[in-house]
Structure 1
Amino acid sequence: MTRGLEGKSVKSARRVLEVLEYFSSGPTEATVMEMARALDYPQSSTSELLSSLVTLGYLNHDRHRRTFRPTVRVAAIGSGVGADVFRRGAILDLVEDVHEETGAVVIVGMAQRGVLHHVHMAGCTHPVRERSPGPMLHSALGQALLGAMTDTEVRRLLHRLNADAEPGEVVVASAYIEKLNVIRQRGYALAPTRDGQLMLARNVPFAQPDPLAIGVILPVAERESRHKDVLESLNGAFRRHLSPTPSARQGRMEIAAALS
């Protein structure tokens, strides 16, 4: 009984968070049907969930248009949480700049206990959710984040992930760390996405307490020729947005060194 109740509670919590993440990915409002289709939920439970969030003050319901939109209370949830560069809005501005310059989908990622999470994106019309060990190990975002860890930390994580992996998905630690060393030396990761495109990703300097990485998805037709231009756009956006004040000379020097 306990296990079943825990499963139901986790499922409900996950759906609440995915509804809020849906709005963070671009749409400013949605009907019950639009939300149900986007998140692959039953329509009846979607309607009940959205109504509950209206009652709690996190969504507003337009009865005439039959749409729901987030209230300012949603923005207040994370106002004091996360990396300082995220709270100041620097990362959001950076992501929008790179998206406008390249026309590509840009994703901010973080990792927790070996699981990759997409926390913000630009240029994507639907939520992109990656919450399994596979993308952590094999995606550019995951590899960039892992490259910032020590070899000891990586080995410990691989040992845990390999214990739960299917036989064909087990990763050899020594070979994987060699791959990470290449990524560390050149400063960015480059790996195919699940749909055959290419993602370039690099870490956000000094994003604490939660390390972040930014990935840029290159269209299939341009993936072989554009990654140097995308890297230049990404590095330029880092320099513009990650120096907090003109007087922060030391901070600018550290960021410049990290980008060199």
Structure 2
Amino acid sequence: MARSVKSARRALEVLDLFEKLRRPAAIGEIAAMLGYPQSSTSFLLNDLRRTGYLNYDLETRCFAPTIRVALLGSWIHAGACGRDEISELLTGVRDLARMTTLLATQNGLDLQYVHVIETRQTPKLALRPGTLRPLCRGAGGLALLAERSDADIGRLVRSINADTAGTHEDLRRVLRYVDRTRRDGYAWIVGGVFPNIGSVAVRLPFNDILDKPLGLMVAGPAWRIRTEHRALGTMLRAELARFTGRLAVGTDRPS
């Protein structure tokens, strides 16, 4: 019990440190500033990454909080830093699509759900924030990959195949999906992870603190995605345009 309380306290202290730093930080720096052993700091940070509270940049080897951390307090402070606007966007899309709506980002070599608004319909998908999925097998990942070059995607797929046991991504298949996403302006896929589930996604117009792109997704029964992906893609793009317009109006207001 005492060990669990200590771990919980340290997790909160890590998040509080990021509030003070307001930038990404590496394991060594965090351990030194908080006075923790580096080994236990590494375990704690990676546990927070797996649960969706921190993101990790493979190139800089730095951690930073995800949007999920900001959204935790959105019900307390109205209108702070766009948190309410993001929650309102996801809830509105959920109601229009009648599907589970997700905010997702790349975390390491995976796609991670950082915020989930569950559908009111049945059956429910029971998706949780922090869930990791193969980057190339969901619409959210394809929407994020679409803005990268084919060469970058090739390097990423080779890294996934080398790093993930039992997983093999077909680069030609991935590039076909990415080309379709670039052409249509939205991503869609069915059966990427589960045979009876599909998703549609667009890229949000801003990045997280690690400058990683964010995707807006809806997920539901495969038959609905097959028959309605065009309408869903059009709806997502329209809602995103309205969302961007509201942000621009808010930015232009005098302080």
TM-score by length of 2: 0.59
Partner residue of 2:43 out of 10, 17, 21: 10
Q: CA deviation at 1:159?
A: 1.8
Deviation, 1:235, is: 1.8
Which residue pairs with 1:101 in the alignment? 96
Aligned sequence identity (%): 18
Between structure 1 and structure 2, the one with the greater Rg is 1
Contact kept, 8 Å, 1:93 with 1:241, in 2: the verdict is no
**Alignment map for 1:1-260 (pairs within 5 Å):** 6=39, 10=43, 14=47, 18=51, 75=73, 87-123=82-118, 126-128=126-128, 129-132=130-133, 135-166=134-165, 169-193=167-191, 194=194, 196-207=196-207, 209-220=211-222, 222-243=224-245, 244-246=247-249
In structure 1, distance between residues paired with 2:146 and 2:176: 10
Residues of 2 paired with 1:150 and 1:13: CA distance? Answer: 29
CA 1:247 to 1:241, structure 2 compared with 1: closer, same or farther past 3 Å? closer
Aligned residue type for 1:163: A
Offset, 1:95: 0.9
Change (3 A) 1:86 1:164: farther
Looking at secondary structure, tell me which structure has more strand per residue: 2
On the 8 A contact 1:90/1:242 being kept in 2, the answer is: no
Tell me how far 1:98 sits from its aligned partner.
0.8
Pair 247,217 (structure 1): closer, same or farther in 2 beyond 3 Å = closer
Instruction: List runs of 5+ in structure 1 lacking aligned partners.
Output: 22-71, 80-84, 250-260
Query: What is the CA distance between 1:20 and its match in structure 2?
Result: 7.6
CA 1:176–1:231 in 2, change beyond 3 Å: closer, same or farther? closer
Aligned residues: 185
Root mean square deviation, CA, Å: 3.8
Cross-structure match for 2:30: none
Deviation sequence 1:224-249 (CA, Å, 0-9, x none): 33222322321221121112234989
Question: TM-score when scaled to structure 1?
Answer: 0.58
Unaligned runs of 5+ in 2: 1-37, 55-69
